Structure 1
Amino acid sequence: MPDPLPGGGPARLAVVLNSESDSVSVINGTTMTVSATVPVGKEPHHWMVSPDGRLIVANTRGDDLVYIDRESGRIQERRGNIVNPYLAGYSPDQRWLVVNGLRLGHLDIYRAGDLSLVKRIVVGGMPSHLAFDADSRKVFVTLQGHDELAQVDLETQAIDWRIKVGDTPAGVLLTPDGNHLLVGVMGQSDVAVVEWRKAAIVGRIPTGKGSHNILQVPGKPFALVSNRSVNTISVIDQRSFTVVDTIGIPGGPDCMMFSPDGRQLWVTARWRGKVHVYDPVERRVVMSIPVGRSPHGVYVE
């Protein structure tokens, strides 16, 4: 877990995406209360930050991206005709926007500048989470329905390879050294370690049932894995690929994000309609804030 981060402060606000309430909850970081609940569209699951620094919510069944004001949650702009955006992300060089259409089984590659569609790749198998290589040449996508991880070349918009990684893969993270991918395998209670340049699984890390999302710990060689079915978060050392700590988080922990100073870990409790605030120093949940139904993504600043 991180030490206090230089220049970082406590959480000023948080935004939680309530996928079954079709809303976002804006939380005041000082009072730890919900200051606004705003309808944003049909089934918001994940968020991203645009190249110009705006917060974007992807509405999976609304087929649109919504730019919201962080302070109020109010909608500033709505971009339609983005089909089935379950999870989306900008490449590190901010040239590409990649959108996973989980329900429809396709991967869309857009030009980030004008959101013009470059290529729709039909992959099937419920494309779920994604990660980019550091050079913005490749994107890695988990295919939950096919138990696969796929690598796509962003310049040619072609699939380089697809490999089996285990039953129902979800979160995927590139390790800080750029050499491996960590893939949460929900149906096997572990994390697959993939050497992506060889398209090969080189290890497995037992974590817990329902291993789902993965978060890099800022400034540290550790990653967090949320194990939804057993209400834990595993801390993985990315040098030894072993679990070095386990944290109890009730209610189906899902998405996670640290406060700017690293002193708080915010975790959505998917099955309880809450977001938890965990203190890494005290090693306990210090606050549980009711939000909407099936909270998924969480943004903190």
Structure 2
Amino acid sequence: MKSFLLLGSALALFAFTSATAGQAPRKVNAPDIAISHRDRVYAAEQFSNTVSVTDPVDNRVLGFIKLGDPAPGNLSPLYKGQLLVHGLGASPDHKTLAVVSIGSNAVSFIDTATNTVKHTTYVGRSPHEAFFTPDGKEVWVTVRGENYISVIDAGTYAEIARIITPAGPGMTIFSPDGRYGYVCSSFNPETVVIDVATREIVGRVAQPSPFCPNIAATPDGAQVWFTLKDVGKAVAFNARPPFNVLKTLDIGPITNHVNFVRTARGQFAYVTVGGKSEVQVFRTDDFTKIATIPVGKLPHGVWPSGDGARIYVGLENADALAVIDTATNRVVANVSIGQAPQALSYVPDAVPAGPGTQNLEPLGKGGASTYLVLGSIGGGSDEPTGVSLFDQGLIQMMQASVTGLAPKRAYVLALARQADGSGRLEPLASFTTNPAGAAIVNAIGPIRQVVQAASITDRRYLVIAPGTADKLGEPVQVQTR
């Protein structure tokens, strides 16, 4: 009897483990792929215009695929490189990486074994993400600056069709079986479901707000989740007809990306929350939050390893990858990469043989950053505004992840002559907060030299004041470090 019980327990364990295998974006019955030196973690880095290549075994960056140059060289009318490297999608056979550059309207197809660009396809204005269909035959590119998906033949790299969507399609993700493509919108409050075979819209899902940057499907094919950056929410809906909403979750300011991990404990959603510098973890069966993980400055892209043991998070304002152990939900490593990482992709067996380091380059001058913090004058918000100055040589790309302000209000990021924000202000960038009282604000110039000047007479301090550039109110946030 004892032997029978042991055998029965073993069979039950085997059956349960097999049922929970398969990590996004593959099917639930796909075998887990243990982490090895053949795997790669790729990150698209917006301000260094690079793709970093990391070995996940020892969490070591191997080098960079340089697709473009830093500013101001990339502002020249004769510039030929890519600009604002942002989106990533890997082919099902793990041999090709599709990299989207927003500023140059490009999709670069990279050979993962040699780190070389095989072809570049130019599409419409401001594409955002590109993903292969599960059969590997097509690449669907959301052309966010227009109103369509550009369908590219994965063999010839030529555009073969356009699928009209609501204006501003943000991203497409496919059901694991390849039947449906789910397309969220960055400009309209509507996600559409497309039948892949017919390329016809067969379902619509209301978005509580118009700004969705990211969408993901669970490996079991049951749910689709999308994030809403402007209102700080995530929405889960039924992946099958009638595509009804299952749950709307309040997440936090600058809610960025979502992805999934399946383990022996169940299936979990990991959501990056930029304004809180954390990742929130939810069960997908009852939507309970089981963990909040501090990860670092402005977490953005997120992607699981081939076995679900790790999940990787790009830190947009820290130029780093945070590596989370999914068994403990704790950060176990940090990897320095390029500037302002956006999308991530973990590709198992990307390098079939050899070291896989050929054609990689060092980061070069686009590899240093300065980080500053702005706090509320008189206290108040417990979520300070973070500012990164991405070094481009003599100038910096400045990115502020603004939080803790009044919603839907006009503000100006400016320079003050006094540490307390008093005196005449010099405007740098005007912006309007989203409904969560947050915003991502950019500027360019020799800002580090000014805010860190040794001379008291030359030094300036970053502040945020309500109003417009020609009519500023009293500062409400001031540089604290």
TM bucket (normalised to shorter chain) is: 0.7 to 0.9
Tell me the residue number matched to 1:155: 197
Which residues of 2 match residues 44-59 of structure 1 at below 5 A? 44-56=85-97, 57-59=99-101
Q: Distance in 2 between matches of 1:156 and 1:263?
A: 37
1:71-111 CA distance string (max 9 Å, x none): 66x42412323444421112223343211011233212234
- Tell me the equivalent position of 1:288: 334
The residue type equivalent to 1:180 in the other structure is: Q
Deviation at 1:116, TM superposition (A): 3.9
Map of 1:139 onto structure 2: 181
**What is the deviation of 1:165?**
1.4
- Evaluate the alpha carbon distance shift between residue 89 and residue 189 of structure 1 in structure 2; reply closer, same or farther with a 3 A threshold: same
**Residue 226 of structure 1 aligns with which residue?**
272
Letter in 2 for 1:276: A
Q: Secondary structure at the match of 2:234?
A: strand
Shift of 1:112: 3.5
- Please show how residues 168-179 of structure 1 align to structure 2 within 5 Å: 168-179=211-222
Instruction: Name the amino acid aligned to 1:50.
Output: S
- Do structure 1's residue 68 and structure 2's residue 110 form an aligned pair? yes
Q: Measure the CA separation in 2 of the matches of 1:6 and 1:293.
A: 31
> For 1:80 and 1:116, how far apart are their aligned partners in 2?
7
Segments of 5+ residues of structure 2 without an aligned counterpart are 1-19, 22-30, 68-81, 349-481
Letter in 2 for 1:46: G
**1:23-42 counterparts in 2 under 5 A?**
23-29=50-56, 32-40=59-67, 41-42=82-83
Tell me which protein shows more strand as a share of its residues: 1
Match of 2:162, SS?
Answer: strand
What secondary structure is seen at the aligned counterpart in 2 of 1:229? helix
CA contact (8 A) 1:66 1:75 kept: no
Q: Which amino acid aligns with 1:211?
A: T
Alpha-carbon distance in 2 for matches of 1:93, 1:114: 15
* Partner Cα distance (1:286, 1:86) in 2: 30
Cα distance, 1:251–1:24 mapped onto 2, change above 3 Å? same
C-alpha RMSD of matched pairs (Å): 2.8
Cα distance in 2 for partners of 1:29, 1:51 equals 19
Which amino acid in the other structure matches residue 227 of structure 2? G
Match of 1:9 among 12, 35, 60: 35
- Alignment partner of 1:145: what SS? coil
> Alignment length, in residue pairs?
298
**TM-score, normalising length: structure 2:** 0.56
Distance in 2 separating the partners of 1:95 and 1:26: 25
Aligned counterparts of 2:310 and 2:220: Cα–Cα separation in 1: 25
**Equivalent AA in structure 2 for residue 238 of structure 1:** T
Larger CA deviation: 141-150 vs 286-295? 286-295
- Asked if residue 217 in structure 1 is aligned to residue 243 in structure 2, the reply is no
Name which of structure 1's ranges 208-217 and 51-60 shifts more when overlaid on structure 2.
Answer: 51-60
Distance 1:287 1:86, change over 3 A: same
Aligned to 2:310: 264
Residue identity over aligned pairs, in percent, reads: 19
CA deviation after TM superposition for structure 1 residue 20, in Å: 1.8
CA contact (8 A) 1:6 1:261 kept: yes
Tell me by how many angstroms 1:132 deviates: 1.6
**Superposition deviation, residue 295 in structure 1:** 0.6
| Matched letter for residue 79 of structure 1 | T
Relative to structure 1, the CA distance from residue 17 to residue 160 in structure 2 (aligned partners, 3 Å threshold; closer, same or farther) is: same
Shift of 1:146: 0.8
- Counterparts of 1:262 and 1:158 in 2: how far apart (Å)? 33
Instruction: Report if aligned partners of 2:92, 2:134 keep a CA contact under 8 Å in 1.
Output: no
TM-score by length of 1: 0.85
Question: 1:80 aligned to 2:121?
Answer: yes
SS in 2 for 1:217: strand
- Contact 1:10/1:260 (CA < 8 Å) preserved in 2? no
Q: Is the 8 A contact 2:169 2:183 kept in 1?
A: yes
Matched, 1:201 2:227: no
Check 1:32–1:173 CA distance in 2 against 1; reply closer, same or farther (3 A cut).
Answer: closer
CA separation in 2, counterparts of 1:159 and 1:262? 32
Question: Which is worse superposed, 250-259 or 190-199?
Answer: 190-199
Matched residues in 2 for 1:218 and 1:281: separation?
11
Equivalence map 1:183-194=2 (5 Å): 183-194=226-237
Q: Which has the higher contact order (CA 8 A, sep 6+)?
A: 1
Q: Does 1:128 align with 2:170?
A: yes
Is the contact between residue 66 and residue 78 of structure 1 (CA under 8 Å) also seen in structure 2? yes
How far apart, in 1, do the equivalents of 2:41 and 2:220 lie? 30
* CA distances 1:168-212 after superposition (whole Å, capped 9, x unpaired): 223222234433322212233222122351243232123333222
How far did residue 10 of structure 1 move? Answer: 5.1
More helix per residue:
2
* 1:268 CA drift (Å): 0.3
- 2:322 matches 1:276: yes
- Counterpart Cα distance in 1 of 2:95 and 2:127: 17
Give the C-alpha shift of residue 288 in structure 1.
2.4
User: Structure 1: any 5+ residue segments left out of the alignment?
Assistant: none
Provide the C-alpha distance between the structure 2 equivalents of 1:136 and 1:239, rounded to a whole number of angstroms.
Answer: 23
The AA in structure 1 aligned to 2:255 is: S
- 2:158, 2:120 → 1: CA distance? 11
